[in-house]
Structure 1
């Protein structure tokens, strides 16, 4: 096998192994998120039972009076029901993703043996360099280490870039759903009647569903960005702290408030801000990918030059 072919084969196998490691990390994240969601659901369902005891027997009282405490309890229950529904949806999607990851990891079982064979051949080349030119051998080892780091980071950046595209598409779907809801809401405001009110609420339900999909997509992007942050080395620096902080803010603040309150006009403005941030992330990741591809090509040239 020619040297260049050997290097390419080794890189391909390393890519598969690193992809498997990446899947394992994603599996760990998702299992943790599923546990947290399960705990949240238990707490929310317990709170729901308590609120229902307050709200359910109060139908007649609600007709006779405008008890502020009762109205607050009803609002809290409505909010909680939305949150429970969202948590259940996220739990279902994460469980499906976990099953896909486990299946993909199973498909890479035989990669270890193939990589061992490829690595053994590379070791012969390294031994030859050690015997004939120790300085070149040191350079070769340094290039091998950097090549491995670049492959690993390229995988993570590629995954994050794919996640950013999915998040952007999901957010555009939210924007489209909110535009539809906003139009029907305006008509309803000026006395559109029962049918318009019904359609408006169906459009709001569609907006919430689209929003749930967007939240899930951004959650995946968040996890990918965390992976990139943890992989930084002295040789390879990636500035994403602001992106990770932004993602945390989105999950803790923007989406829960929007899902619960359906304030359409404000929601549309907030959504444009989120889309802008995701676009910045996407552009940054694409730039990182270009840099890593260029560096990978230079490493390959340098390794080949050492063996001439």
Structure 2
């Protein structure tokens, strides 16, 4: 009976820690939503002030937009129209981000609903256990209770570490794909520079389009990764600076879109993406090292419990 009650407490305490983590993530997402809404408002106002007719560019991809700018699609745009097109591209990206954040908030709200009674359940179980300890007058029971408390905290932390590692792996995969596309764009761009013709230009733009898509996915995954690291970072004291992680993709939408036709722009973006991948891998390595420490702690707790039970 006592051990069964301990197991229930371990589970509910894990639920409480998860609830606290989700509440922290929810606050973070709502702050980001406020920021992206302000960005959307700013970009919308900027577009509304322009007298250019840019409706034909709605929903356009990077490939089609650059093709339009350099004059291989529709008519060639002048520099002012390029600026308008760049703003519109940023606006579309911001709107996609807004929708993803809203969906994440809704997802967390649903999870929190399932955990809303966890604190009440924990207090009830704790009261029941305290009564059992008093009735038994057992130092053994108190010691076992303390071990179970430590186990509950450690297991919950291991779960958080594992979730962060999985989220980091998703970011890593998206960045790997972006790098592959940028390397292909770089290769086709080199051929284009030595007279590769329309085929090399088209292939270069296609790979740039793919890279931009993968960067957007990586940024979305990065946002979730950052949320998973919030509590982990505090507990492990890893000193991870997330500001750079969340802003690294900005260079894809900064400046004139026409910059993408410059080979150096592709090289710079490739270098920055590779640097970001290295940063993410470094964080994942730290998380795995911390995971090993916590699993070792769990093993020590189990050995101590087994020793205590054997001595009774």
Q: Same fold (TM over 0.5)?
A: yes
Unmatched 5+ stretches in structure 2 = 55-76
1:165 to 169, 187, 197: 169
- Contact (CA 8 Å) 1:19, 1:155: kept in 2 or not? no
Any idea what the Cα deviations from partners look like across 1:136-167, whole Å, max 9, x if unmatched? Answer: 84x56654554444244333322211211111
Deviation at 1:223, TM superposition (A): 2.4
- 1:287 is matched with 289
Distance 1:269 1:163, change over 3 A: same
Residue 51 of structure 2 is aligned to residue 53 of structure 1: yes
- Contact (CA 8 Å) 1:48, 1:80: kept in 2 or not? yes
Map of 1:11-160 to 2, 5 A cutoff?
11-50=10-49, 52-53=50-51, 73-109=80-116, 111=118, 115=122, 118-128=125-135, 131-133=137-139, 137=142, 143=147, 145-160=149-164
- 2:249 is matched with 255
- 1:201 is matched with 205
1:188 to 192, 195, 201: 192
Deviation at 1:38, TM superposition (A): 0.5
- Contact (CA 8 Å) 2:165, 2:288: kept in 1 or not? yes
Deviation at 1:256, TM superposition (A): 0.8
- Contact (CA 8 Å) 2:191, 2:200: kept in 1 or not? yes
Any idea what the Cα deviations from partners look like across 1:249-297, whole Å, max 9, x if unmatched? Answer: 2433x32113435421222222222212211111111121221122133
Pairwise CA RMSD: 3.1
Count of residue correspondences: 280
Distance 1:159 1:248, change over 3 A: same
- Contact (CA 8 Å) 1:34, 1:94: kept in 2 or not? yes
Deviation at 1:110, TM superposition (A): 5.8
- When normalised by structure 2's length, the TM-score is 0.76
Any idea what the Cα deviations from partners look like across 1:18-39, whole Å, max 9, x if unmatched? Answer: 2233222222211221111011
- Contact (CA 8 Å) 1:225, 1:240: kept in 2 or not? no
Tell me the distance in 2 between the aligned counterparts of 1:116 and 1:239. Answer: 30
Deviation at 1:118, TM superposition (A): 4.1
Deviation at 1:208, TM superposition (A): 0.8
Tell me the distance in 2 between the aligned counterparts of 1:289 and 1:126. Answer: 33
- Contact (CA 8 Å) 1:168, 1:279: kept in 2 or not? yes
Tell me the distance in 1 between the aligned counterparts of 2:157 and 2:86. Answer: 41
- When normalised by structure 1's length, the TM-score is 0.77
- 1:235 is matched with none
Deviation at 1:215, TM superposition (A): 1.2
1:240 to 232, 238, 248: 238
- 2:217 is matched with 213
1:298 to 284, 297, 300: 300
